[in-house]
Amino acid sequence: MSDSTHICFVCLGNIVRSPLAESMFRHLAEQAGLGHKYEVDSAGTSGWHVGEEPDRRMRRVAAEHGFRYTGRSRQVTKRDFLEFDWIIAMDASNHADLSRLADSEAARLKIRLMREFDPQGSPNDPVPDPYYGGIDGFEEVFQIVERSCLGLLDALERGNI
């Protein structure tokens, strides 16, 4: 493993929340001149959307903010617990699924909730899944993910995680 910190963002299908978080964190780290310090990826706890691009509605909302990204969905594996220093879950259900997949206490300690790093949220708050709702939900998720990624980057840089 290199000297960089490896982070995997995880949601249910890896087409809305986690690919946005992956791309957002990478973008913010690069903007801060810290891109060389972080390797990021994303995955889903389910295999429903493996190989698919991120949700078009989320990409549209992101583009309205001047943020563009791509990617392909994949399902989280046990190997991810070996390859990543931190696994950031979008909600308690994802956290529980990841905890069941982890085969050691050390692996379970790598799992954190995204909203732990949101200055406007509570640590146990979910990043809501807007998949079955209207466009306003996608806007809300964009705002939450951006704040949380900024908070995560700050926590990592300060050594608070």
Rounded to 5°, angle at Cα 108 from 140 and 36: 65
Establish whether 118 is a catalytic residue. no
b/e sequence 52-74, b meaning 16+ C-beta within 10 Å: bebbebbbebbeeeeeebebebb
**Cβ atoms < 10 Å from Cβ of 150:** 17
Q: What is the largest CA-CA distance in the chain?
A: 42
Query: Tens digits of per-residue pLDDT, 40-96?
Result: 999 999 988 888 999 999 999 999 999 999 999 999 999 999 999 999 999 999 999
- Rounded to the nearest 10°, the torsion over CA 126, 127, 128, 130 is -170
CATH of the domain at 74: 3.40.50.2300
Choice among 11, 59, 112, 147 that is catalytic? 11
Report the domain count for the chain. Answer: 1
Structural domain of 70 = 5-158
Mean pLDDT for the stretch of residues 136-144: 97
pTM for the model stands at: 0.96
**CA nearest to 128, candidates 23, 46, 17, 45:** 17
Choice among 8, 129, 147, 149 that is catalytic? 129
- β 5-11/86-89 pair status: parallel
Query: Tens digits of per-residue pLDDT, 123-139?
Result: 999 999 999 999 999 99
Establish whether 17 is a catalytic residue. yes
Establish whether 129 is a catalytic residue. yes
